[in-house]
Structure 1
């Protein structure tokens, strides 16, 4: 059954503006345009959109996604299998990072001691057991760009990134009395988004979810609010605004 652009937007949790952009660049062209000018999306369009969002989540650019999907040799079922394998590997790494966060909280409280190696468990993005298959299917250039976003920074960059993050916390704390949607707040939260994407790969939606964790998990709240009371909530709100504006 054909769906209107607004229905697809709500179904896939992406903006109408994004769907219009995909149409304009030929990435997702609706199968039908009504005489009144309404875009109508078929089941095949929805299947392609699902693939687009999977590839986007893995860090591929829109241009690379279009090239992959338009390749006559593209196999949708095979791609879904590969998506699953990569996401399972990513979930395993994230589980390790969450465990490292929990241990670090205990370390900061003085309840346990952590070695330097333990402090960075889960931050090794240098190996993906499915990368070779991905390169064979989608090409070196596409995988290299996606892979670069998941690379752990070299040791000599870690302190620099830590200092950047602390500076952003302080600057955000200083303006936490302003509206989260203000230009000043959004400029600073954009810097936070950019720094986080040096450590991992965050889509705007994932960035928004992370912001919600800052207030839902008291451990995050406690650590962030060390820079200023209410900072975690302010960042959560500002990150949500940023994500909604950059879908």
Structure 2
């Protein structure tokens, strides 16, 4: 018969290792290990020499489990249990402080996840009034809901939600100011007759692509696809042409020319 089987056999004077393990909710191997390192040694033995755990031994097992749940190492637990004159409140207060810190960090993580959920659902964590105040009177808060309905199941929307979850109104104001500056510079360049494919036009196209990357990673091919959408979608066309007549087509043209100069054929570009 194996040691484990013999230890499980009923015996007088205490609980067998199997019964003690079941009572404490641990494995027999765990009790064997704790016995080997001197953490919890059974007080009794059967006539055959197998372990028997007294009520005090089982109580010690439960104290080990409590301290282990608090995060103490087995070495620290052994020292604590074997030093009955020590002020138990000292390590317990230290462990309590650590637990409170862990709770605080976990709550911070929960709050971050909640904000990501809200960002994925709402698109932007600003009230409609805040959005208009930051993005201007021409801004339509409903555009965000429309974007979610259109692209909510895409990798780009997930990336967008992750990036915007932690943004404050100040962050959004900086982004809005940057976009306004870029749009003003695009309009000025278009009025000045800047030619698509020129160094100046390519630089503007790259600045425009960088502004999009505040929301999600935008490759040259994806930028070309966006340029097509600006021209094809009446809402986008109206937005850009309100800044400068004809700006939509000119913007598409400089995007295409920039992509071509960087080795991307606009005619075969895909959303990748």
TM-score normalised by L of structure 2: 0.38
TM-score normalised by L of structure 1: 0.41
| Greater radius of gyration (CA) | 2
